[in-house]
A and B are shown apart, each in its own frame.
Chain A
Amino acid sequence: KAGVTQTPRYLIKTRGQQVTLSCSPISGHRSVSWYQQTPGQGLQFLFEYFSETQRNKGNFPGRFSGRQFSNSRSEMNVSTLELGDSALYLCASNSGQPSYNEQFFGPGTRLTVL
């Protein structure tokens, strides 16, 4: 079974621009979660999508948004980029069923904002 894939792997943008990151979950997985990883902050939860609906949301500003398609693929968008948005963005998938806790992560997208 193919793992979680994320594209692109690396991205360089300038302040004020917007960016879209893509995530393809493991086949059959309906839940996709997004995390931001910065040094010293661990993985900060952004949001979780299940069956095209946002089911949970973290404490990030509205510049961070996402969506999920009918094939469970998900995209994350960040508008009006700030220097502090530079981070590794990770996506994770699982079946989305209650009490199924383990998540499978992709390799991440490294975003650098100049």
Chain B
Amino acid sequence: DQQVKQNSPSLSVQEGRISILNCDYTNSMFDYFLWYKKYPAEGPTFLISISSIKDKNEDGRFTVFLNKSAKHLSLHIVPSQPGDSAVYFCAANTGGFKTIFGAGTRLFVKA
């Protein structure tokens, strides 16, 4: 049972444009959502997070939106840069002890 779903395995975007990565979840008990970025041969690194009491969190070029009624969140990257090319994982947890990850979306940013 996949509680966190990233339905797009890959996404290709032109440099300078917006990248939108989507994530859906099924467990209404999740109260914290995170995005991680992973480059080849490295472990994932934390990117940005959002608490379930908010609907938006912004950090520089990265913004995460949360729609609790739709159980959907998205990560916006504006403007996209070639260095953003990586696999992005959506994750969710309750209380921080057990984190459930999605399958990941591979982002390609073309120069």
Task: Assess whether B9 is interfacial by the CB under 8 Å rule.
Answer: yes
Q: Contact at A101–B96, with CB atoms within 8 Å?
A: yes
Q: Contact at B49–A101, with CB atoms within 8 Å?
A: yes
Count of B residues near A, CB < 8 Å?
Answer: 26
Q: Contact at B95–A99, with CB atoms within 8 Å?
A: yes
Task: Assess whether A25 is interfacial by the CB under 8 Å rule.
Answer: no
Per-position binary interface string of chain A over residues 52-64, scored 1 when its CB falls under 8 Å from any chain B CB and 0 otherwise: 0001101000000
> Least Cβ distance of B54 to chain A in Å?
14
| Residues of chain B within 8 A of A4, CB atoms compared | 43
> Least Cβ distance of A7 to chain B in Å?
14
Bound CA–CA A45/B6 (angstroms): 16
> Least Cβ distance of B21 to chain A in Å?
13
Given contacts A90-B43, A104-B46, A107-B41, A43 and B34 within 8 Å (CB-CB): no
| Residues of chain A within 8 A of B98, CB atoms compared | 33, 45, 48, 56, 58
Given contacts A35-B101, A101-B49, A43 and B89 within 8 Å (CB-CB): yes
Bound CA–CA A6/B46 (angstroms): 18
| Residues of chain A within 8 A of B42, CB atoms compared | 107
> Least Cβ distance of B86 to chain A in Å?
13
Kindly report which residue of chain B lies nearest to residue A105, judged by CB atoms. B43
Bound CA–CA A33/B89 (angstroms): 16
Residue from B89, B93, B97 with most neighbouring chain A CB atoms (10 Å): B97
Given contacts A40-B9, A56-B97, A98-B95, A103 and B46 within 8 Å (CB-CB): yes
Task: Assess whether B78 is interfacial by the CB under 8 Å rule.
Answer: no
Q: Contact at B99–A45, with CB atoms within 8 Å?
A: yes
Q: Which of B88-111 contact A (CB under 8 A)?
A: 89, 91, 93, 95-104
Per-position binary interface string of chain A over residues 72-84, scored 1 when its CB falls under 8 Å from any chain B CB and 0 otherwise: 0000000000000
Q: Which residues of B does A touch, CB under 8 Å?
A: 4, 6, 9, 32, 34, 36, 41-46, 49, 89, 91, 93, 95-104
Q: Which residues of A does B touch, CB under 8 Å?
A: 4, 31, 33, 35, 40-45, 48, 50, 55-56, 58, 90, 92, 94, 96-108
